[in-house]
Amino acid sequence: MTMVAMSHVRKAFGSNEVLKDISLAVDPGEVCCIIGPSGSGKSTVLRCINRLVSIDGGEVIVDGLSVTDPKVKDVDLRRRVGMVFQQFNLFPHMTALQNVTLAPRKVRGLAGARAEETAMRLLAKVGLKEKAQQYPAQLSGGQQQRVAIARALAMEPKVMLFDEATSALDPEITGEVLGVMRDLAAEHTTMIVVTHEMGFAREVGTQLVFMDGGVIVEEGAPRAIFENPQAERTKAFLSKVL
Amino acid sequence: MLLVGIVGAAMRTSKSAPARGFATAFAEFFRNTPPLVHIFFAYFALPVVGIKLPAFVAGTLALVFYQGAIAIEILRAGIEAVPKGQFEAASALGLSGFEQFRSIVMPQAFRISLPALGNNLISLLKNTSLISAIGAIEITGVANDIIAIRLTSAELYLTIGGFYLVLVFILSGILRSTEARLARYGT
Ligand SMILES: Nc1ncnc2c1ncn2[C@@H]1O[C@H](COP(=O)(O)OP(=O)(O)O)[C@@H](O)[C@H]1O
Ligand SMILES: [Mg+2]
């Protein structure tokens, strides 16, 4: 079954049509990378998937649940969808460990000890076991983003969304975050990744989507698109970023 | 006072229009009228509609409403200063609205608002002197009684000033150390 299926999704903010008829299917284990110029609607696509924005038309089905179905609760969707933001958005008044255990305790109802056990395993996985008791302000950007990834993973989501997870980082430390994302891909985590890291999209992505002006201009196998883009707009964009 | 502030600020920033309207009206009314009027109202006017309160209770209630209204506005500003990304991250994790407010928004808003809330608490302490106007027992009230007996008023009001100064000094100290403790996690 398809993990995330968007069909003919439309979204406008006031008179600004941000998504115009977006259709996209992501199967389990796939790494779908979305590239495109700023303002093309990439973040909005991700936000439609976990209902951070509501759609005006079309349909989004996540693991069998429709985002437009009023019987589907927000929490049902959000347990299935982990999200990592450009600005990390860690909770500054909580330690790394508390950031990771909060949602499992409050949303999944795990006991404190169980939640901490899982959290420590995830912090170890992102290479930050020894930083568990630190507050976000005491961590570097790359470390904060890795904690944010562990925090999202702690909900055991079916699909992970990454919204420019490395764009706020200094170039020399993007690698530690991309490394964690590569590890997740290698474990066949289903991922939808909005990124400007063309190397990651090319090597790790199983599917590539190029968006511009609220439409999907081109999609297909990453290698094929990078080597032989069909649409003029794709060619123009790639010649600028590569 | 803090309770009024927290509940009021929650309503003031909630999605529900009636809750927002009520909290706004409450805060604007009590904030923009003198506390002495509230005290007189609670003590002298409420009995007219059958609510008879002892002087101390009436006075305290009136002050809690007044300072609470100020606390609502302070905390509202604090809540609005919490970055939008915090709400988004909390929503994306599946936290309920109440849980977001309790675990994510309020602790941060509280920290942002702490200096202003501290001043509000100090002003509450000082305004307790107003309750003497309706004859309830607090420091100034006791002083008036004593003056009526024998001491000169200058001596007494100086002593009273001293008492308040000491109390405010202690309170400020506690507030400062709380701020320092909360500053631990930076940003
Ligand atoms: N909450 C919002 N309210 C109004 N306009 C928005 C909102 N979010 C995004 N937009 C607008 O939608 C367009 C697409 O935004 P976005 O999806 O963030 O693009 P991208 O992530 O590709 O840069 C932009 O023009 C942006 O200004
Ligand atoms: Mg974006």
B109: domain CATH number is 1.10.3720.10
Question: In terms of DSSP bridges, do strands A190-194 and A159-163 run parallel, antiparallel, or are they unpaired?
Answer: parallel
pLDDT tens digits along A91-119: 999 999 999 999 999 999 999 999 999 99
Cβ of A161 closer than 6 Å to ligand 1, yes or no, is: no
* Averaged pLDDT of chain B: 82
Cross-strand partners of A35: A210
> Domain residues for B147?
2-185
pLDDT tens digits along A47-82: 999 999 999 999 999 999 999 999 999 999 999 999
Quick one: pLDDT band at residue A166, thresholds 50, 70, 90? very high
Cα–Cα distance measured from residue B132 to residue B39, given in angstroms and rounded to the nearest whole number: 10
Candidates B82, B93, B111, B184, partner chain A, best to mutate (most A CBs within 10 A): B93
Predicted pLDDT of residue B33: 85
Q: Would you say how long chain B is, in residues?
A: 187
Question: What is the number of other CB atoms lying within 10 angstroms of the CB of residue A55?
Answer: 22
Distance (angstroms) between ligand 2 centre and the Cα of A22 equals 16
- Range with the poorest average pLDDT among A84-93, A168-177, A227-236, B25-34: B25-34
Quick one: pLDDT band at residue B162, thresholds 50, 70, 90? confident
pLDDT tens digits along B61-120: 888 888 888 888 899 999 999 999 999 999 999 999 999 999 999 999 988 888 888 888
Is the pLDDT assigned to residue B44 strictly greater than 70? yes
Q: Output the pTM of the full model.
A: 0.86
User: Which residues have a Cβ under 8 Å from the Cβ of A15 and sit 6 or more positions away?
Assistant: none
Cα–Cα distance measured from residue A160 to residue A83, given in angstroms and rounded to the nearest whole number: 6
CB A204 within 8 A of CB A181: yes
Is the pLDDT assigned to residue B51 strictly greater than 90? no
Tell which phi-psi region holds residue A213, choosing left (phi > 0), alpha (psi between -120 and 50) or beta: left
Quick one: pLDDT band at residue B8, thresholds 50, 70, 90? confident
Ligand 1: atom nearest CA of A37 is: 22
Under DSSP, the state recorded for A172 is: G
Tokens 């309830």 belong to residue:
B136
Under DSSP, the state recorded for B28 is: H
Predicted pLDDT of residue B23: 87
Q: Reduced to 3 states, what is the DSSP secondary structure of residue A143?
A: helix
Structure tokens, B111:
């920290």
- Using CB atoms, which residue from B95, B185, B187 is nearest to A107? B95
The closest residue, in CA terms, to atom 17 on ligand 1 is A41
CB A185 within 8 A of CB A197: no
CB B23 within 8 A of CB B118: no
- Range with the poorest average pLDDT among A21-30, A154-163, A190-199, B135-144: B135-144
Question: In terms of DSSP bridges, do strands A207-212 and A215-220 run parallel, antiparallel, or are they unpaired?
Answer: antiparallel
Measured CA to CA in angstroms, residue B120 lies from A47, B113, B161 at distances of 40, 10, 19
H/E/C letters for each residue in B54-91?
A: CHHHHHHHHHHHHHHHHHHHHHHHHHHHCCHHHHHHHH
Quick one: pLDDT band at residue A207, thresholds 50, 70, 90? very high
Predicted pLDDT of residue A39: 95
The closest residue, in CA terms, to atom 1 on ligand 1 is A13
Q: How many domains does chain B have?
A: 1
CB A42 within 8 A of CB A194: yes
Predicted pLDDT of residue A145: 97
* Averaged pLDDT of chain A: 96
Predicted pLDDT of residue B148: 65
Question: In terms of DSSP bridges, do strands A4-13 and A215-220 run parallel, antiparallel, or are they unpaired?
Answer: unpaired
